[in-house]
Chain A
Amino acid sequence: MFVDFFYILRDSGIPVSPTSFLRLHKALAEGLVSNLDDFYIAARTLLVKSERFFDLYDRVFAHYFRGAELPDFKGMELEAAARELLNEWLQNPEALANALGMSKKELQSLSPEELLKYFMDRLKEQTEAHHGGSKWIGTGGFSPVGHSGYHPGGMRVGGISRNKSAVKVAMDRRYKDYSVEAPLTQAQMGEALKRLRRMVPEGPRDNVNVDETIRATTRNAGEIEIVFDRSLRDRLKIILMVDNGGWSMDPYIQLVQTLFNYARAQFKDIKFFYFHNTIYDYVWEDPPRRFKPQRVEEFSTWDKDTRLIIVGDASMAPYELMATDGSIHIEERSGLPSIDRLHMLADIFSHSAWLNPTPRRIWPMTRTIGVIASIFPMFELTLDGLEQAVTSLMSKN
Chain B
Amino acid sequence: MSGENATFFSGASKYVLDEELAKIVNISMALEMPLLLKGEPGTGKTMLAHAIAESLSMPLLVLNVKSSLKLVEALYQYDTLTRLNDSRFGDSTRDVSNIEEYIRMGKIGQAFVSEIKTVLLIDEIDKADTDFQDDMLDVLDQMEFDIIEIDKTMKARTRPVIIITSNAKKDLSDPFLGRCNFHHIAFPDQDMMRRILNVHFPSVDQELLEICVRTFYKIREFQGIEKRPATRELINWVRALRADPDFRPKDLIQGKIPFLGILFKKSTDYHQATLQSKRLRI
Contacts and interface: CB of A to CB of B under 8 A. Distances in A.
A61 B26 CA distance: 22
A51 B33 CA distance: 19
Contacts of B227: 301
- By size class, the interface of chain A is 20 to 34
Contacts of B26: 32
Contacts, number: 58
Most buried by A among B23, B35, B84: B23
Contacts of A26: 31
Interface string A41-60: 11001101111001000000
A23 B28 CA distance: 11
Interface string B159-194: 000000000010100100110111110000000000
Nearest to B23: A41
B178 A17 contact: yes
A50 B68 CA distance: 26
B107 interface: no
B117 interface: no
Nearest to A303: B169
B226 A301 contact: yes
B113 to A, nearest CB: 26
Contacts of A17: 178
B184 A51 contact: yes
Interface residues of B, number: 29
Contact of A42 (B27, B38, B184, B226): B27
Given A17-B178, A27-B31, A50-B177, 8 more contacts: A15-B174, A23-B33, A42-B27, A49-B36, A49-B180, A54-B184, A300-B226, A301-B169
A45 B27 contact: yes
Interface in A291-312: 300-302
A45 B181 contact: yes
B182 A48 contact: yes
B65 to A, nearest CB: 15
B24 A45 contact: yes
B88 A224 contact: yes
A49 B168 CA distance: 12
B27 A27 contact: yes
A49 B31 contact: no
Nearest to B25: A45
Given A49-B178, A302-B169, A32 B30 contact: yes
A212 to B, nearest CB: 15
A38 B19 CA distance: 10
Contacts of A30: 30-31
Interface string A213-227: 000000000001010
A8 B36 CA distance: 25
A15 B183 CA distance: 15
Contacts of B1: none
B87 to A, nearest CB: 9
A266 to B, nearest CB: 16
Contacts of B84: 224
Interface of A: 15, 17, 19-20, 23, 26-27, 30, 32, 38, 41-42, 45-46, 48-51, 54, 203, 224, 226, 233, 268, 300-302
Contacts of B144: none
Nearest to B89: A224
B233 interface: no
Interface in B1-52: 20, 23-24, 26-28, 30-31, 33, 35-36, 38
A199 to B, nearest CB: 16
A224 B30 CA distance: 53
18 contacts: A19-B178, A30-B31, A32-B30, A41-B27, A42-B27, A45-B24, A45-B27, A45-B182, A45-B183, A46-B181, A49-B36, A49-B177, A49-B178, A50-B171, A51-B38, A51-B184, A226-B81, A268-B129
A305 to B, nearest CB: 13
Contacts of A15: 174
Contact of A27 (B30, B174, B226): B30
Contacts of B23: 38, 41-42
Contacts of A46: 27, 31, 181
B187 to A, nearest CB: 12
Interface in B207-229: 226-227
A23 B184 CA distance: 20
Contacts of B24: 41-42, 45
Contacts of B28: 45
A24 to B, nearest CB: 10
A50 B176 CA distance: 12
Contacts of B174: 15
A298 B129 CA distance: 20
Nearest to B269: A300
The 9 closest A-B pairs by CB, nearest first: A51-B184, A49-B177, A45-B181, A49-B182, A45-B24, A300-B226, A41-B23, A32-B30, A42-B27
A372 to B, nearest CB: 21
Nearest to A237: B67
Nearest to B35: A45
